[in-house]
Amino acid sequence: MVALLLLARTGHALPVGAGAGGEPLRAVAARAGVAIGAAARALLLETDPRYAPVLAGEFDSLTPEIEMKWPQTEPEPGRFVFGPADALVDFAEAHGMRVRGHTLLWADPVRIPDYVARTGDPEALRTLLRNHITAVAGRYRGRVEAWDVVNEPLDPIRGTGLRSNVFLEHLGPAYIGEAFRLAREVDPSAQLFLNEIGVLSGGPKFEALLDLVRDLLATGVPLDGVGLQGHIFAGLNTPSRERVEEVVRSFADLGLVVELTEIDVSVGPAVPDRLELQARIVGDLLGGCLAVEACRGITFWGFTDRHTWIDDFLGPGRAPLLFDAEYRPKPAVEAVRATLAARAVPEPGTGLALATGLAALAATRRRA
Ligand code: G3I
């Protein structure tokens, strides 16, 4: 076990690589010029003693899983609750992690508080949006490196067209650009992302996202990046490495930064060699993204099978994350390490790092 210590700015020390038994992912990622992140929950920092050391030891980027969302930060108009989000931002800063803010506006009607969903007057709705973004992005100005300004604006069923919600109904499609303009005004230093689910495999939803992004850019909306989620269910929606690269490149070609923002790979209990399959899928997701220079961040939606939204969504046993419920590294950890190493920038004059990385990647692929 690697016994390196990470000295926090606060003077606390946490074991680095405590859960992985190998070089910490964040060290390999740094050489690859990419952020490696996990979604995290403030409550678990307090209640599960094994949680924080692995989070801070392995990852250099943190996304609050629920704590920065509208229902959590402004449950009633003008009443703000920042304690849990503050705890995560403080934790990230203490451990040299960047923060991805998630999310200022989740365009799903059930993810918006009732008082917003019930507002029918366009000006009142605009005021709610302005006040919310001003308060939340303002509180973390200069501390959140990238914001998922708008999350999942596309229709989830048809896959094309915008999702129906109160903003679309009363402000029209321009609500998306308005949210980005407000975010830029409030925190000019943050990178602004549009984050979408279900596009990594290509198809109509991917095309719809590309059209939307082109429209936003054409109308001068301050959009810096696209976040591509990665909730994968093995056997159902498993994109090839080449497909991921194609999708990522399409957004990079528009001049945008791209990140994989919410990876988890569910593998049913009956799937043969399921952890090896999972490692291969994870390697393909990362490999496809990292093949494109504009791919700057890889975030998993959690990191231990002990705490995953998939258990609530589908029931337990799908083991979607990198570490098992006892915080032991799974084969996917090695796949992440190898794929990151393959993009490592070699030390000047040696070329060794790249050669080592490529060899490690080839070995992983052979094993899979
Ligand atoms: O913490 C309470 C608990 O005290 C209570 O007993 C329980 C009863 O339902 O609820 C718990 O809160 C839940 C929370 O997760 C923590 O588990 C909320 O009800 C539940 O709505 C919340 O779900 C989160 C969901 O977003 C909605 O915010 C998931 O954890 C989170 O993983 C999920 O993340 C989304 C991304 O933001 C966007 N992309 C898809 C992704 C997965 O749905």
Count of beta carbons in the 10 Å neighbourhood of residue 11: 7
- Residue 85: CB within 6 Å of ligand 1? no
Residue 16: the pLDDT is 42
Task: Going from the first residue of the chain to its last (368 residues), give the mean pLDDT of each consecutive group of 10, the final group possibly shorter.
Answer: 32 42 94 98 98 98 98 98 98 98 95 96 98 98 98 91 96 98 98 98 97 98 98 94 98 98 96 97 98 98 98 96 98 98 71 47 43
Q: Let me know if 260 is exposed, middle or buried by CB neighbors in 10 A (0-12, 13-18, 19+).
A: buried
Q: Which of 58, 152, 245, 259 is catalytic?
A: 152
Contact criterion met (CB below 8 Å) for 95 and 51 = no
- Residue 80: CB within 6 Å of ligand 1? no
- Residue 197: CB within 6 Å of ligand 1? yes
Q: Does residue 293 have an active-site annotation? A: no
* 22-to-2, 54, 270 alpha-carbon distances in Å: 6, 12, 29
Contact criterion met (CB below 8 Å) for 128 and 170 = no
- Residue 66: CB within 6 Å of ligand 1? yes
Q: Which of 67, 259, 262, 334 is catalytic?
A: 262
- 59/260 Cα distance (integer angstroms): 14
Residue 346: the pLDDT is 61
CA of 139 to the centre of ligand 1 (A): 23
CA dihedral 286, 289, 293, 299 (to 10 degrees): -60
Candidates 3.40.50.2300, 3.20.20.80, 3.40.50.10800, 3.90.1300.10; correct CATH number of 14-367? 3.20.20.80
- 124/107 Cα distance (integer angstroms): 17
Contact criterion met (CB below 8 Å) for 117 and 69 = no
CA of 309 to the centre of ligand 1 (A): 7
- 301/63 Cα distance (integer angstroms): 8
3-state secondary structure of 217: helix
Q: What are the tokens at 325?
A: 């419920």
3-state secondary structure of 223: coil
Beta strands in 52-144 (DSSP E): 61-64, 98-106
CA of 295 to the centre of ligand 1 (A): 27
CA of 109 to the centre of ligand 1 (A): 15
Q: Does residue 67 have an active-site annotation? A: no
Atom of ligand 1 nearest to the CA of 72: 28
- 226/261 Cα distance (integer angstroms): 9
Domain layout of the chain by residue ranges: 14-367
- Residue 108: CB within 6 Å of ligand 1? no
Say which DSSP state 109 is in: G
- Residue 65: CB within 6 Å of ligand 1? yes
- Residue 151: CB within 6 Å of ligand 1? yes
CA of 262 to the centre of ligand 1 (A): 14
- 111/114 Cα distance (integer angstroms): 9
Contact criterion met (CB below 8 Å) for 37 and 63 = yes
